[in-house]
Chain A
Amino acid sequence: MKRDATAVGAHARPDVALRLAAIRAGERAAIARAITAIENDIASARALSAALAADAGRAHVVGVTGPPGAGKSTLINALLAEFAARGRRIAVVAIDPSSPITGGAVLGDRVRMHAAGAAESVFIRSLASRGHAGGLAKATRRIVDLLDAAGFDAIVVETVGAGQSDVGIAALADTSVVVCPPGLGDDVQAIKAGILEIADVLVVNKGDQPAADRTEQELRDMLRLRAHRPGWAVRVLRTVATTGDGVPALVDALDAHATDAGRGRRLARAPAPPAATAVESRLRGFCAADPYQRLNALEFVESGPGTVTMRMRVAPQHLNFNGKCHGGAIFTLADSAFGVAANAYGVVAAGIDTHTTFQVAVSEGDVLTARSLEVSRNAKIAVYRVDVTRGDGTVVASFTGTVFMTRRPHQARPDDLRP
């Protein structure tokens, strides 16, 4: 019945209707050309994307991230072989970084997918990141929607692999796979810092190397230290991408996660915020129950949809050795306005990245106000901006922050947290 809608459009845009039919029929050349149109933001691509939107939500979107050289592309090659053995049609979107200086890029991932990539059941497309942050290219979401409409059973997205900042994939993928090479060293810290939060499946690849045992153990220990969460229990698997060892078990884990968490999660609407007054009293409760806010004498002022305002009078306890307000105190104020706003949706929002610039020095006695604004949000990731202003209206610091929306409800009632 979906087709009726496009039949109406066909009178206006016969070219679009023709291309739609070809894409839905899985025609390789039509799909490839449409991707180019989306990637380069060509006007006709918008009508196409809009018409295909209704078809999205069937494919299992698998994100593959992890540090460069971990074996992501090689592992995808092995996955493709296993998927093919199970009779599935798979599309791969592989993203490589663009040079920030020239804009050029060498797209090298698909060369590693050469063996399995030759199959008719496989479609591979390489994209350059073109300066987009978060480990994806700007158009990735719309390209995934297109491939979904084209009828692929699964769409595998390989991120740039910049480690910690590759969190964009969590908002796009139904299942996020983090690939860790053995003997990570400092990279373990990066993985802990943000990437681990988004992993549904952790893969220790290069399982043929001796250090793999220890890395696997470290990751298991790390997971054990984390608070238990209801729902999916993150799995740790071992693979040798070059031989395919462990890959059938990985596909089993991906399937299990798709069954547990569902497909098309990128399309889910962010939950609507509950009634304003109830939210405000809950947020006040969070602040009252926050020992660190009290230590710094922060004051909750007000809240609104996606925004929280907090205040701090700069006292002697906030000063640094230069007699000016300590940057950490200003950060604490901004971070609190950010964190409280992000936790207004009934689930724990975990801060995973922030950035602050300090524009103006602040003195004792100044009253600072931090107001957070929600810049974007989806089911998994939300981004906030916070301006910190002085009494005279001068913006003294600017802060941006990203949270990962867990699926954990706030467990303790705020009052219970009070010492």
Chain B
Amino acid sequence: MDIRPKVLVTKIGLDGHDRGSRVVAAHLRDAGMEVVYTPPWQKIEAVVKLAMEEDVDVIGVSSLATDHLIVPKLMAALRDAGLTDVVVIVGGIVPDADEQALLDVGVARVFHPGSPLDEISAYITEATARVRAARFPA
């Protein structure tokens, strides 16, 4: 099976700085992925509905201010909706003290400022292979 990752790049919370998420979305597209990109200020329910309908492999949440503090709510909403097999990653400014809390609620990985874009796409490719193998066992 030729695996082409399908990725949601989104921003939840109040911060409207979307340059980082735009750059990441464009990079993932150029890496051959199919990217659903949303503007900032998404509601949690909207993200869950979108992730479910689009059946994305990975959700990338960009957070430059305090948005990452809402990510646990997103994780709970995904779980409630039965979306337990989506890989969630967070990119942006996340204090070290908060990172462990995100990992504890099921975030797969946090990418800090300065992470090479190639590292992000390589991670998503690898994660997608795992997700698809579980979703569509041979």
Contact = CB atoms under 8 A, between A and B. Distances in A.
A33 B135 contact: yes
Given A42-B136, A44-B136, A105-B29, A111 B55 contact: no
Contacts of B28: 104
Contact of A104 (B32, B43, B52, B81): B32
Interface in B16-49: 25-26, 28-39, 43, 45-46, 49
B1 interface: yes
Contacts of B113: none
Contacts of A28: 49, 52-53
A36 interface: yes
A396 interface: no
A42 B132 CA distance: 11
A110 interface: yes
B41 to A, nearest CB: 11
B54 A32 contact: yes
B34 A105 contact: yes
Nearest to A44: B136
Interface stretch (A60-68, A76-84, A119-127, A265-273): A119-127
B50 interface: yes
B83 interface: yes
Interface string A2-46: 000000000000000000000000001100110111001010100
For chain A, give the interface size range.
20 to 34
Contact of B29 (A33, A35, A104, A124): A104
A118 interface: yes
A44 B55 CA distance: 17
A103 interface: yes
A5 B52 CA distance: 30
B45 A118 contact: yes
Nearest to B5: A104
A108 B35 CA distance: 8
A29 B46 CA distance: 15
A54 B32 CA distance: 36
Given A104-B32, A107-B35, A126-B36, A36 B25 contact: no
Contacts of A105: 29, 34-35
A229 to B, nearest CB: 39
A339 B3 CA distance: 41
A104 B136 contact: no
A118 B49 contact: yes
A379 to B, nearest CB: 30
A102 B32 contact: yes
Given A29-B83, A118-B46, A111 B37 contact: yes
29 contacts: A29-B52, A29-B81, A29-B83, A33-B135, A35-B55, A40-B3, A42-B1, A44-B136, A98-B34, A99-B30, A102-B30, A102-B32, A103-B32, A104-B28, A104-B29, A104-B32, A105-B34, A105-B35, A106-B29, A106-B35, A106-B36, A108-B37, A110-B36, A111-B37, A114-B46, A117-B49, A118-B43, A125-B53, A125-B54
Interface of A: 28-29, 32-33, 35-37, 40, 42, 44, 98-99, 102-108, 110-111, 114, 117-118, 123-126, 128, 130
Given A29-B52, A32-B53, A107-B37, 14 more contacts: A29-B82, A32-B54, A33-B55, A42-B1, A103-B32, A104-B33, A105-B29, A106-B26, A107-B34, A107-B35, A107-B54, A114-B46, A124-B53, A126-B54
Interface of B: 1-4, 6, 25-26, 28-39, 43, 45-46, 49-50, 52-55, 81-83, 135-136
